[in-house]
Each structure stands twice: as C-alpha cells, then as structure tokens.
Chain A
Amino acid sequence: MTFFPLSFLRRSLLLFCLFLGVSISASAQSRDDGSLYSRFGLGQLQQFPSSQIQALGGGGTALWSYNYVNFSNPASWSRQVVTRAALGVRVDGLQTTDATDNSKQFTAGSFGAAQFSFPLMSDQLGIAFSFEPYSRVNYRVQTTGQLISDPISQDTSSFLINYEGTGGLQQIRGGAGVRITNGLRVGASADVIFGIIEEGQRTTFTDTPGFAETNLATSTRLVGLTGTVGALLTASNLLRSDDDLSIAASFTLPTMLDGNRALTLGESLDRDTLGAQIQGDLELPLSAQLGIAYQTDNRWILVADALYAPWSEFQSDLSWPGFTPGDASRFRDRMRLSGGVEFLPAGNDQLDTYFKRVAYRLGFYYDQAYISPIAGVDINTMAVTGGLSLPSLYPGTHLDLNVEVGTRGTTDQDLVRDVFYGVSATLSIGERWFVRRKLR
C-alpha cells in the first residue's frame, strides 16, 4: 500500500504555514501596545477556536464543520475528512479614554494561532494540534515628574517612568476526538500552558548628566499541564430535513502552574538578576463551556454559548498586579456569553457564483473579566463580531476575514474605557493526504 500527498506545493505551503505559526506566534506576546487591563492577573485571556467561530462571537462549543477544526471542543475533532492547517494574523486597534476625556490610540499586529489537524478515520476519529495564545500582557503607560535631585543646591531633575508589560501565556494542545455513536462524539486534549510574563518599570532622567536609566523588571515563567474534555450531542432532521442540532459541553480542568520569578535590573543581555529567584505555584480554575448550534441545509448556522470559570477561587504563591497571596478580592468569576449567525447563500452548490459561495457571519459576545483593578468594579467587554469566508480555487481552502469592534471597562473610579477593533485574516488550507494509490 502506498500513500502520497496529492500536491507537493500545497503540502509545502501547509507545512510552511505551520512552521511560521509555531515559530513566531510567540511574537504575538511581545507587543506592548494594548489595553491597560492586560496588566492585571495573568493578562487578558485569549481564545481562538477557529476563524469561523471568531466571527460568530467566539464561542462555538457545539459547532462542528468539515471546513474548520473547532478548538473549543475536542469532541468536534472527530468530524474531519481532510488534513487541515490554519494560520491567522491580526491587527488590533485600541483607543483608551480616561474620565477627563484624555485618550490614546494604539495599533498592533500579531500572529494568531497555528492549527493542524487530520483524520485518522474519516468522520470518525481525528487528531488536532494547536499553538495558540492563552493570555496576553501588553501595555505601556508613562508618567513624568520632577524631583530635587540635590537638596543642597536645589537642582531639579526631570524624570520619565514607563510602566510596561509584555508577554503572556501560550498553550500547545494536542488531542483526539472520536465518534461513539452517530449522535455522540467525545474528545480530549492535553494542554501545555507555558509562558513568560514580564513587567517593567523604566525610569529615565532626561536632563541630568551622570544619571542613568534603570529598568527594573519582573520576569515570571510559568508552565503547567492541563486537559480539556468535551462531548458533542447531535440530532438531525429535527425541524426540517437536512438540519442539525448540536448541544455540547467542554471542560478545561483546573491545574497548577509552576512559577519561577526573577527580578532583574538592566537591559537585555546586561540584565542583572537581583537576589534569588522565587518559586511559586498558581492554580488555574476549571473552565466550563456550554453551547448549542443549529445548522440547516448548509446555509444557516446559529450558535449560542456560555462560558463560566470560577476565578474567584484563584490561588497563587506569587503576587500579581491585582492579587496578593491570600487576597483574591479583585478576582471574580468569569462569565462569557456569545452568539452568532452564519449565512452561506450557495449552500452545497459548488458551481454557484463566487459571492454566493462566500459565507457571511455576524456575532456578539459579552465577557465579564476575571479580574478588576478595583474590588467590586466589574470590567465588562461587549463586542460585535463579523466576517467573510472567501473560497479559493482549491476545495477546502479559504481565506477568512474577520472584524471585531467592542468596548471594555469604564471611566468611573479613575479607570479607563477601551474602544477596540480587530481585523484578522486566517488562511485555512485543507486537502486530502495519505490517499491510497489505486493500481490499474
């Protein structure tokens, strides 16, 4: 029996897509132009189930598709017929405003997730891997001031302090989904969460000869292993022929991350580590997602999801912005509600006009953040999502263009309100590999 890929060029593109995504998606964590709310806790939690689901509000626990691999529920990985890889890039814009209407704008680009999956048994058993962000810390804010650097001569010196945060956690996931019965599929993945979160305070004296810039940084390395289990129940032909109703749930298990924190002073390779490194653990809580999806004759998709994670139970030996060991008053349970709709005018007709074979998506979400700078003040995010899926010459390969616009936070109590937008493009390549040659 001989197996060979159909297209060497496309396989090369697919592998290049994976390599590029895995090797540089961590660079998405190095930007420091983003929301100040990412300073708190472990940063802003990220998720990227698939480019389709991103445009449908970001939930999609119960959504399955032969054209996408859904990383919010490993049970859906059983529904694969082609090998698939996806790589996305994203541009985020942000306007932050305070109570006095002062505002600042940021724009940053980053790579999103890199995903790869393939069926072991078509539509029965599938494997999937992803390298995706778990959280992101990227903020930069500055303050200036003056002090009397020489009380004897009353010389004043002007200083500039940049508070910066970079990094975040990423996760590598790998697992499988399997069909138990026609209506029940389950799946599980092992998820390695790791990363470095850095916070720095850079103090510069701009007008005083002999004064040096200091960059005091806390660098915390975290690593841990968790797992996600999911189940997907599907019933067909309920309200009409060729419809599909799915109900699903997935649970990411609580886990302990090992932490190692160093305080450094200086720049880059000239950094000096101050004192001994601090070891500590932190406990990530359970995360539970429940979703429902209704698909009809391959034209309409409706999804709704809810996510709950009891972050108020967060524990850590290490302190974090907004948290000191034993005081989790600024942590709160996270709740995320989302929904979306997709319309594909052509349905299954591959010969229809191009724009009828484009999928049109619209969604929304509401996210109550797991941490707040001020105890008792919720930091809520509300956003509208949308997107287009542009088919290509190659069946199963398409370019998804998504957009997201929303607000986060409040200007009450000296907080800030973010108005953000995001534009992303994800290339998803799918083709059959390992086709058995038929000898004549």
Chain B
Amino acid sequence: MMRLRFAWPLVMGLLLLTACEDPSNVGIGLVDEQGDPVVRTFATSSFDTTTIDDITGNVPRVLVGQVDDPLTGRISATGYVDFVSAGFDNDDNPTITGVSLVLDRDYVYGDTAAMASISIFDLVEDWDETAAKSDTSLPKGMLVTTANFLPSDTLITIPLPASWIAANDTTLRSDNFESSFNGFALEGAGGNAIVGFNETASSLRVFTSADTLDYNLTRTITGIARTSDPAALPPNQVLVQDGLGQTVTFNFDFDDAGLEETPINGAIVRLFADSVLVNDTPPNFVRPLLREIQLVGVDENGLFVTLGVATLTDDGSYRFREAFSTLSFRDVLQQQFFGNAIIERLELRFATSVHTINPMVLYDASADERAPVALLTISSSGR
C-alpha cells in the first residue's frame, strides 16, 4: 500500500528532472529573421567651431613661454606656481645659503634648438587654483630674475638672487610658509617655445648650512592667450587646440531617421583629422599632435557629461565607441529615441589630466568622405 508520505517527494522530485540547455538555431526558419542588426550611417546636421573655457588650474603641469607657430598663430603662456614648505628646522638657526627653482620639463611645443628665456615674478596676493581657467591673469609683483634655457633640456635649475633670498629669509623659515608666500609667475621672456613643467617633480630648493630642502610645487594655474590668428585652413577643415579651448560643437540628424523606439546596440562617432598637415613643421619645431580628445554631451543649461574618449588612430581619425564611465553616447541616443533628450549638442573637449596646447586639424561636415559620421548598430525587430 502506498503511503502518502512517499507521494510528496515523488511528485516534487519530478520537478528536479529539468535541464536548461543552450538554445540552438534549429527551427530558426519559423522565426521572422528580419531581426538581424544593421548599421546605419548619419551625417552631422550641424558642425561649428566654438571656444570653451579650458580648465588650467590644479593640473599636474604648468605651461610657460611664447611660440609663434605658422599653423596655430602666436601663443603665450604664463604659469603661476606655489609651493609647500618641507619643514624648516630652526633649532640650530642654519644659514640659508641659496634657493633655486628646479623645474622638471616634460613638455615642449615649438623650436627646441633656440634658446628660450623665463622671467620669474613674485605674486603679491593669495590665489585660488580651483577650476581656474586659461584666461586667468594674476597681479604680478617684482621681477625676481630672468633665466635662459634650452627647451630641449629636461631639468632647468634657476638660482634665485641673493637679494631675493635675503628678503624672503624669514618667510622661508616660517611655519606659516604657505600663507606667507604666494608663489611665482613664470613668464616667457624670449625664444620660440612653450614648455611644460611637471608639478610633482618640480620644487623650490632651499640650501642651508645644514641641509637641502625641497619645497614641492603644489599649486598651478596657466594663463594662455593667442595673440595672432592661426593660419588660414582649407574650407573643409577646422582647427581645434587644447589649452586655448578651441573646439567644435556638432549634432547628428536623427530626427527623420525613423528610429523612435529602436534599440541601439552600438554607436560610433568618427571625426577625421589631417595629421599630415599638423606634422608639417619647420626644422627643429616640435608640434605634438592632439592624441586624445573627449566627446561630451552638453545639455540646455551648459552642463556637460563625458560620453567617450578617443585617441588618434593610424588612419587619422578619432573613433568614439566605448563609454567613458557609466554613460555613453549609445545610452544618450537610446534615451533620445525614447523621446527623452538628455543633451542638446555634442562637443569635443580636452582632458585636464594632461595640460598641453596640442592642435589638430579636423575635417568638417563639407568634407565628403572625411566628414564626421555617426555609425549606429541597431536591432531591427522585424515587427
């Protein structure tokens, strides 16, 4: 006689006899096969140059110098720097025997063979580097010294005059050095190059009778100005340049594409560059290419979000495909196709982690095969 208690395990146990197998394509003919993804190409509906405020405060590189570039025009850069004390030990009242500005050069733009000059000025007021922009200009005090250097040198050491040392002896020893000392303005005084100094490896070196102290460079701002127009470019090309905020803003024409409620698998934005033109430089003239740019989406209030980062490819283009963080161009477009527009326009911007004045010449919307394009991979539903 079957006991009831044996029935439940048997009944429930049947549910364990299941297997989830990977699906196959057997019977795919019964399913509408119009669902294969397709790639559609879109041209820009607008493509304009614009100028944005480049953030030059609190970045790990400060630019100094002046350059007259046949492509990008005349540009000057003034660097504002400040330091933090290494902790001066006054116990034995050592004598300060010398102070040097030690600058680690990790960037150059311009003529590397001709001598260049830097003028160093005291800064008379405290300043805030947070979100400072390239149009910053701080009031300068007395000229401290002027030094010559070769832009190709990687380490530039500028001894400060004894008069300056004597005038700032107490400040250099002070426990409140940071609040007492406002830093220097570094200005190009000659030559044809703009150099960049690495914040982490540059310092104010104080020599005493007992020790050598490095007051590390901790705050920077770079003020950059273009004082003459760049060269005229062919009609289907535009100049973008880091440091001066010269960039482009654009949009793609999706409105009449019939893509409402269409799922997007991938979105690629391509902009084509004329790196040959940019690489055409005078002898001994270094003009680094703008290797990396960011694609940002800007809303109606001017707020922006970075949607992608691209590096210059071997075929001379920037290709944005992957997301920069959690939001990508694909995500933004998908919301737009849902009827929820997040951004108003796209812009190219420059990374603040590497401060340069690198340029690039881009082809604009009239450039036929090298015009900017958006490539959308969409899933067609076949419904």
**Contact, CB under 8 Å: A390 / B2:** yes
Question: B33 contacts which of A143, A203, A393 (Cβ < 8 Å)?
Answer: A143
Question: A147 contacts which of B8, B25, B39 (Cβ < 8 Å)?
Answer: B39
Assess A201 versus B268: contact at CB under 8 Å? Given A106-B21, A373-B30, A416-B27. Answer: no
**Contact, CB under 8 Å: A145 / B261:** no
Query: Which residue in chain A gives the minimum CB-CB distance to B12?
Result: A89
Contact residues on B (Cβ < 8 Å of other chain), bracket: 35 or more
The answer for the CA separation of A201 and B32 in the assembled complex, in Å, is 11
**Contact, CB under 8 Å: B29 / A210:** no
Min CB gap B277→A, angstroms? 20
The answer for the CA separation of A13 and B11 in the assembled complex, in Å, is 13
Query: Which residue in chain B gives the minimum CB-CB distance to A213?
Result: B265
Assess A218 versus B30: contact at CB under 8 Å? Given A91-B18, A142-B24, A427-B8. Answer: no
The size of the chain A interface, using a CB distance under 8 A, is 79
What DSSP secondary structure best describes chain A's contact surface? strand
Question: B27 contacts which of A36, A144, A211 (Cβ < 8 Å)?
Answer: A36
**B303 contacts the other chain (CB 8 A):** no
**A355-386 interface with B by 8 A CB criterion:** 373
The answer for the CA separation of A106 and B18 in the assembled complex, in Å, is 9
Assess A265 versus B36: contact at CB under 8 Å? Given A39-B30, A210-B328. Answer: no
**Contact, CB under 8 Å: A211 / B338:** no
Query: Which residue in chain A gives the minimum CB-CB distance to B16?
Result: A109
**Contact, CB under 8 Å: B330 / A212:** yes
**Contact, CB under 8 Å: B28 / A104:** no
Assess A89 versus B36: contact at CB under 8 Å? Given A104-B21, A211-B266, A214-B263. Answer: no
The answer for the CA separation of A213 and B21 in the assembled complex, in Å, is 21
Min CB gap B329→A, angstroms? 9
The answer for the CA separation of A98 and B31 in the assembled complex, in Å, is 13
Assess A210 versus B321: contact at CB under 8 Å? Given A274-B261, A399-B11. Answer: yes
Which of B198-206, B240-248, B374-382 is the interface stretch?
A: B374-382
**Contact, CB under 8 Å: A108 / B26:** no
**Contact, CB under 8 Å: A218 / B377:** no
Query: Which residue in chain A gives the minimum CB-CB distance to B314?
Result: A153
Min CB gap B376→A, angstroms? 10
**Contact, CB under 8 Å: B268 / A149:** yes
Most central of B26, B30, B32, B317 by chain A CB within 10 Å = B30
9 other contacts beyond A152-B373, A205-B377, A216-B381, with CB at 8 A cut-off?
A96-B27, A98-B29, A149-B377, A152-B375, A201-B35, A210-B266, A210-B268, A214-B264, A265-B338
Closest 9 CB pairs of A and B: A210-B322, A214-B263, A211-B266, A274-B261, A414-B29, A109-B18, A142-B23, A107-B19, A36-B27
Of the A-B pairs whose beta carbons lie under 8 Å apart in the complex, a sample of 13, sorted by A's number, is A89-B11, A104-B27, A142-B28, A150-B319, A150-B375, A151-B41, A159-B36, A210-B268, A211-B330, A263-B261, A265-B261, A397-B4, A415-B30
